[in-house]
Amino acid sequence: MSSRPTALVTGGSSGIGEATAMLLAANGFTVYAAARRVDRMRHLEQAGIHVIALDVTDDESTRQCVQTIVAAEGAIDVLVNNAGYGSYGAIEDVSIEEARRQFEVNMFGLARITQLVLPGMRDRRSGTIINISSMGGKIYTPFGGWYHATKHALEGWSDCLRLEVKPFGIDVAVIEPGGIKTEWGTIAADNLAQVSAAGAYAGEASETASSMHKRYQGDSLSSPNVVAKAVLRAATAKRPRTRYAVGYMAKPSILMRRFLSDRAFDFIIARAA
């Protein structure tokens, strides 16, 4: 068993998860990067990162992941809940089945792995849970209704969890990334174009999807490393902040939502979209 603190990073095969796993490993953590497709993480092994299969929507897969790490390392000291995706499309167009899957991945899967990690943290009276939310957990945009719903839910859920586990010496931090240059944006744009390509919302949906493609292919968005650095700060702080807003437009967007009226914010978001 390693004497170094052990971190589990879900959604570790690319983007924010990959950058986070690499940075934690470079700063003294024993890191397990978890994702459904282990073949996409083989390069991480060269950096001394353990790769492990995980489907957060499958309870047996989640149990096996946690049990394997605890058996090998004795404990999970830091859990980084990063796995997730963006299901974009007009609320009327997105099937309820897909909406449920969005919640299964972004919320319920995250909640289940947290439940499995918590008993060990409580017994040791220490641990840090870091939930990757989004500025989308504080703001809203057209055609992202189901995605925003999961992130708004995660924000409130994390607040409740923080109060419940504080007496056991466990910290809960939320990372709220802004625009981060990963494949997340192009996948969400493709989903939007496909789901709402016809019908009442087709015109605006097509324009929004095109705008998202341009933004995620451009140079204005932040690197995943800015999120990884925030995770590292939270994971190593004696008293982590409850929230870290990082990346392109995260802080100004959240501030605008806090201080503007609903109608004023609606106007700005509609123009931007």
HSE at residue 209, side-chain half, CA atoms within 13 A, is 21
Using only C-alpha atoms, what is the Rg of the chain? 18
Task: Report d(CA 103, CA 147) in Å as an integer.
Answer: 8
Bridge partners, residue 6, by sequence: 30
Please report, as a single letter, which amino acid is at residue 29.
F
**pTM for this model (two decimals):** 0.96
Q: Which two tokens stand for residue 204?
A: 């605006």
Domains of the chain: 6-272 (3.40.50.720)
Q: What is the pLDDT of residue 248?
A: 97
Per-residue pLDDT of the chain (273 residues; tens, 9 = 90+): 668 999 999 999 999 999 999 999 999 999 999 999 899 999 999 999 999 999 999 999 999 999 999 999 999 999 999 999 999 999 999 999 999 999 999 999 999 999 999 999 999 999 999 999 999 999 999 999 999 999 999 999 999 999 999 999 999 999 999 999 999 999 999 999 999 989 999 999 999 999 999 999 999 999 999 999 999 999 999 999 999 999 999 999 999 999 999 999 999 999 887
Q: Are strands 78-81 and 127-132 parallel, antiparallel or unpaired?
A: parallel
Q: pLDDT (tens digit, 9 = 90+) per residue, 80-111?
A: 999 999 999 999 999 999 999 999 999 999 99
Q: What is the pLDDT of residue 197?
A: 85
Q: What is the pLDDT of residue 249?
A: 97
Q: What is the pLDDT of residue 175?
A: 98
Q: For 81, phi and psi rounded to 5 degrees?
A: -85, 95
Region label for 11, one of left (φ > 0), alpha (ψ between -120 and 50) or beta (otherwise): left
Q: Which two tokens stand for residue 183?
A: 């494949």
Q: What is the pLDDT of residue 271?
A: 87
State the residue for tokens 């990162």.
Answer: 49
Q: What is the pLDDT of residue 240?
A: 98
Q: What is the pLDDT of residue 155?
A: 98
Please report, as a single letter, which amino acid is at residue 86.
G
Q: What is the pLDDT of residue 273?
A: 75
Map residue 247 onto helix, strand or coil: coil
DSSP 73-117: HS---EEEE-------S-TTTS-HHHHHHHHIIIIIHHHHHHHHH
Q: What is the pLDDT of residue 1?
A: 60
End-to-end CA distance of the chain: 50
Q: What is the pLDDT of residue 241?
A: 98
Q: What is the pLDDT of residue 272?
A: 84
Please report, as a single letter, which amino acid is at residue 264.
A
Instruction: Tell me the catalytic residues.
Output: 147
Residues comprising the chain, all counted? 273
Q: What is the pLDDT of residue 172?
A: 98
Distances (CA, A) of 264 to 40, 97, 258, 269, 270: 44, 33, 11, 9, 10
